[in-house]
Amino acid sequence: MANDEAQTRIQRLNRARILDAGLETFSTEGFSGATLDAIARAAGMSKPNVLYYFPSKEAIYDAILQRMLETWLDPLRALDAEGEPVEELLAYVKRKLHLARDYPVESRLFAGEILRGAPNMIDRLSGPLREMVDMHCGVIRAWMEDGRIAQSDPHHLIISIWALTQHYADFEVQVRAVLGKKRDPWAEAEAHLEMHFRRVLSE
């Protein structure tokens, strides 16, 4: 038998196709609403073939969450302690907003999982994610103590960035409904958030 690591070209391809199809399906239908048939159809293969690559529906879901957290959150790791604080944080907001804009599907899947109480993700939240946030908070707190940005709770500052950027992706229908059809939510959001956080951060 092949060992764990060995994967043929076709295996990698089909696994990826299933994960892509599942991402789309789970994010729009929810975990219960998504059916294996729908995922298989979206992946362009038969249902048993899907189950040839993954042991169960939940295994697909878990694999999607894992892949997402590994790749999706990557641009958020950097927060340069040596940079100019305000510009550094505004760049962070911008990166996060673009992440939400360019990967709304991932954003919604993430939101859906958390809405349900994060049954398949809670350990990653209080593990890796929390460490990342705590690291950021260390940098931010230092900036605050040096008087380079306004004082506030670093954790809640991060939370507010996440809340505002995610909102434009997750609640896009509501945002569009409230703004009307002729406006461009994402462009406006970028301008508004820059000004918004400039005020929040300025001493």
Partner DNA sequence: GCATTATTTGACCGCCTGGTAAACTGGACG
Partner DNA sequence: CGTCCAGTTTACCAGGCGGTCAAATAATGC
Q: Is 13 a residue that touches a second copy (CB under 8 A)?
A: no
Q: Is 56 a residue that touches a second copy (CB under 8 A)?
A: no
Sole binder of DNA in the list 10, 77, 82, 173 (CB under 7 A): 10
Q: Is 178 a residue that touches a second copy (CB under 8 A)?
A: yes
Q: Is 5 a residue that touches DNA (CB under 7 A)?
A: no
Output 120 or 160, the one with its CB closest to DNA. 120
Output 38 or 79, the one with its CB closest to DNA. 38
Separation CA 45–CA 35 (nearest Å)? 14
Q: Where are the alpha helices (DSSP H) in the chain?
A: 9-33, 36-43, 47-53, 57-72, 85-102, 104-115, 122-124, 130-145, 154-170, 172-179, 185-201
Q: Is 152 a residue that touches DNA (CB under 7 A)?
A: no
Separation CA 59–CA 26 (nearest Å)? 13
Q: Enumerate residues 55-94 that contact DNA by CB under 7 A.
A: 55-58
Sole binder of DNA in the list 21, 23, 34, 65 (CB under 7 A): 34
Q: Is 147 a residue that touches DNA (CB under 7 A)?
A: no
Sole binder of a second copy in the list 74, 130, 138, 184 (CB under 8 A): 130
Q: Enumerate residues 66-125 that contact a second copy by CB under 8 A.
A: 108, 111-112, 114-118, 122, 125
Q: Which residues contact 73 (CB under 8 A, 6 or more apart)?
A: 129, 132
C-alpha distance from residue 143 to each of 40, 79, 86, 101, 197 (Å):
50, 12, 9, 29, 15
Contact region for DNA (CB under 7 A) — 3-11, 99-107, 164-172, 184-192? 3-11
For residues 107, 22, 5, 2, the Cα torsion angle rounded to the nearest 10 degrees is 180
Distance of closest approach, residue 38 Cβ to DNA, in angstroms: 7
